[in-house]
Amino acid sequence: MSWTDIGALTDIPLRGARIVKTPAGCIAVFRTDEAEVFATSNKCAHKGGPLAEGIVHGKQVTCPLHNWVYSLETGEAQGADEGSIATYPVKIEDGRLLLDTDAVAARNAA
């Protein structure tokens, strides 16, 4: 694993998200609780909507374009919709956000 500092936890509003540009495309980093973050692909499996712009609720996000709802833990679309988005390891250390860039690269290679 290669933990890369991508910014401060407080750079992301509570129940909000920010994007990180990577060679594998944009990754959305969600802050679901005071000290709980998830990283996924920013691209909705349906029509490519920017998930980082969705409303974050519980450990889920709703795509702003057509209301697909994803679990941020598994990346699976919820309810009747079928599809999934990639998820990536991200952690908080001393208020900093660390993203596993190896996992991102691996996904890119695959």
Partner 1 sequence: MQKLVVIGAGMASGRVLEHLFDTAPEAFDVTLFNAEPRGNYNRIMLSPVLSGEKTFEEIVTHDDAWYADNKVTTRFGEKVTKIDRDRKVVVGENGEVAYDKLIIGTGSAPFIIPMPGHDLPGVVAYRDLEDTNAMIDASAKPGGKAVVIGGGLLGLEAAAGLRLRGMDVTVLHIMGHLMERQLDEAAGYLLKQDLEKRGINVMLKAQTKCIEGDGKVERVLLEDGTVLEADIVCMAVGIRPAAALGQDAGLEMGRAIKVDAQMRTSDPDILAVGECVEFEGNLFGLVAPLYDQAKVLAKTLLGEDDAFKMRELSTKLKVTGCDLFSAGDFAEGDAREDIVFRDPKRGVYKRLVIEDDKLVGAVMYGDTADSNWFFGLIKDGSDISEMRDTIIFGPAFQGGGAAAADPLAAVAALPADAEICGCNGVCKGTIVTAIEGGATTLDDVKAITKASASCGTCTGLVEQVLAVTLGDSFEAKAEKPICKCTDLTHEDVRRLIKSQELKSQPAVWQQLAWKTPNGCHVCRPAINYYLLADWPLDYQDDLQSRFVNERNHANIQKDGTYSVMPRMWGGMTDPDELIAIAQAAKKFDAVVKVTGGQRIDLLGIKKEDLPAIWSDLNDAGMVSGHAYTKGLRTVKTCVGSDWCRFGTQDSTGLGIKLEKRLWGSWTPHKVKLGVSGCPRNCAEATCKDVGVICVDSGYQIGVAGAAGMDVKETERLIDVATEEEAIEWTVAFVQLYRENAKYLDRAYKWVAKVGLDWVKETLDDPATRAALIERFDISQSVYQHDPWAEHVENRKAQYAPLADLTTEAAE
In angstroms, the CA 29 to CA 86 distance is: 12
Q: How far is the CB of 84 from partner 1 (least distance, A)?
A: 19
In angstroms, the CA 96 to CA 85 distance is: 24
Q: How far is the CB of 13 from partner 1 (least distance, A)?
A: 6
CA dihedral 21, 6, 88, 63 (to 10 degrees): -60
Q: Which 15-74 residues touch partner 1, going by CB under 8 A?
A: 15-16, 18-23, 26, 29, 47-50, 53-58, 60, 62, 64-65, 67, 69
Q: Is 82 helix (H, G, I), strand (E, B) or coil?
A: coil
In angstroms, the CA 106 to CA 34 distance is: 29
Q: How far is the CB of 64 from partner 1 (least distance, A)?
A: 4
Q: How far is the CB of 82 from partner 1 (least distance, A)?
A: 19
Q: Is 12 in the site for partner 1 (CB under 8 A)?
A: yes
Q: Is 96 in the site for partner 1 (CB under 8 A)?
A: no
Nearer to partner 1, 75 or 96 (CB): 96
In angstroms, the CA 80 to CA 64 distance is: 17
